[in-house]
Amino acid sequence: MVRVALIAHDEEKAEIIDLARSYEDLLSTFELVGTGTTGKRIMEETGLTVERKQSGPIGGDLMIGAEVAEDKLDGIVFLRDPLTAQAHEPDITALLRICDVHDIPLATTRSSAEFLLDGLARRTDAD
């Protein structure tokens, strides 16, 4: 089964929830994992189940990075706020590096997230 991580900076939480709603039918066929607050909000505002890791500021992003290193993730959607991200929010640098090392796609914008999800859906359909 396809396994995807969902992460969002504070200013992007509404956007990732909107994305989850738009792709709810597809995402319901995936295993979802997320950082604490993002995962909680997605579950509260959609019918999706998300395996929640710690919140980003206390290591949730690193826990997701470990799943990439262990070949347990097929992709990451990390909607980040490039202009006003706060010091307490997860840093994308380590995740980007581990995704590049393991050839795992990481989307940082709504548009790239849609391409990632659509691509994973096509791969699922081919199986």
Residues comprising the binding site for substrate? Answer: 9, 13, 35-38, 55-56, 88
* Alpha carbon 85 to chain centroid, angstroms: 17
Alpha helical stretches, state H, 9-59: 13-22, 24-27, 36-45
Q: Which of 61, 71, 91, 100 is catalytic?
A: 61
61 carries an active-site annotation: yes
Where would I find the beta strands (DSSP E) of 9-115?
31-34, 51-52, 75-79, 106-107
Which positions make up the binding site? 9, 13, 35-38, 55-56, 88
Which active-site residues does the annotation give? 61
